Amino acid sequence: MSLLEKTGKMNSQGVVKALLVTASLFVVFAGLKIAANIVVPFLLSIFIAIICNPLIVKAAKYKIPKPVAIVGIIATIMMLVLLLGGLVGQSAQELSELLPQYKAQLKEEFVWLTSRLAEFNIHISSDVLIEYLDPSAAMGFAASLLSGLGGVMANLLLIIITVIFMLFEAPSLPRKIHHALDDPDMKMNQIDRFLSSVNNYLAIKTLVSIATGVCVSLMLWLFGLEFYLLWGVLAFLLNYIPNIGSMIAAVPAVSLAALQLGLGPAGAIGLGYVTINMVMGNVIEPKYLGKGLGLSTLVVFLSLIFWGWLFGTVGMLLSVPLTMIIKIALENSEEGRWFSILLSNES
């Protein structure tokens, strides 16, 4: 067989392999889409278990029995979720009821604006402005986003039970993964690096997100903005989406501030959002996460669309952590390292 024939055969084999991989991915994603009602609570369970595991390890250093530590941490989380869920649910319902009032107030302001513009021979319909510049739409999106998450949390009991079992199984998980990957002697260090990186990333990201939500709620409370707790929870959730998440979280709060407090305070609140997210994103996170775990802005945006389409609201909120886990896994694989470079923000 000539060299040309061998090259052609290798190329055809590569094309067939690529087609098979692509077809397999489509089948897997279609299955996940159909089974979203089962997969989403399971993903949330994994997410919560990874975040809680460092606390369990910390409690073991203080000689606290593992069952006691798990029960204490889970009880604390359930109490916070129920408390915040009740307050946020009430705020979201009140906001939905007030949206027509805000829209009517906005229309009055746009009528005044169009009349002023008409004096300069600039004729724009107030209805057109409302259609394209409707802050109530952003506030409605925030309320529906939190409502969608609340719908998933209806399976709270199932999620909590799954988390408890996962936390009990956590110590044996690395050895099971080593055995599953045919490494009974625990020699594949990349597996341990992957598990450690995912654990550290999610734990630190969660702490930074909590700090962001607290700072936003405190700032809005000082300004006297309504539903400040709702916007703080939204900032906490969307902080898992770097770059664009903070901008999305700021839009409904700044829009409401423009209607309730005026343009001056709204501008100050917008500046406060920028300051908080610059400090958290450019000072705090790099200090603890390092710069080697970054995703490009394009990948962040595309992952938001993809995971949101696949798993709905929870997929949007977990889009970057899920993509980050895939990237970390690829970084620890010789075959997939090239793709992790494409996902990164390195030039």
The H or E element spanning position 4 is helix 3-34
At residue 218, the pLDDT reads 94
The verdict on pTM exceeding 0.75 is no
At residue 187, the pLDDT reads 57
User: pLDDT tens, 248-305?
Assistant: 888 888 888 877 887 788 889 999 998 998 888 778 877 776 554 567 777 878 888 8
Rg (CA), the chain: 24
User: pLDDT tens, 35-58?
Assistant: 888 888 888 888 888 888 888 888
At residue 220, the pLDDT reads 93
* Nearest Cα residue to 239 out of 291, 204, 290: 204
Give the mean pLDDT of 331-336.
66
For residue 222, what pLDDT band results from cuts at 50, 70 and 90? very high
Q: With contact defined as beta carbons under 8 Å apart, do 251 and 138 qualify?
A: yes
DSSP summary character for residue 181: T
Q: With contact defined as beta carbons under 8 Å apart, do 169 and 55 qualify?
A: no
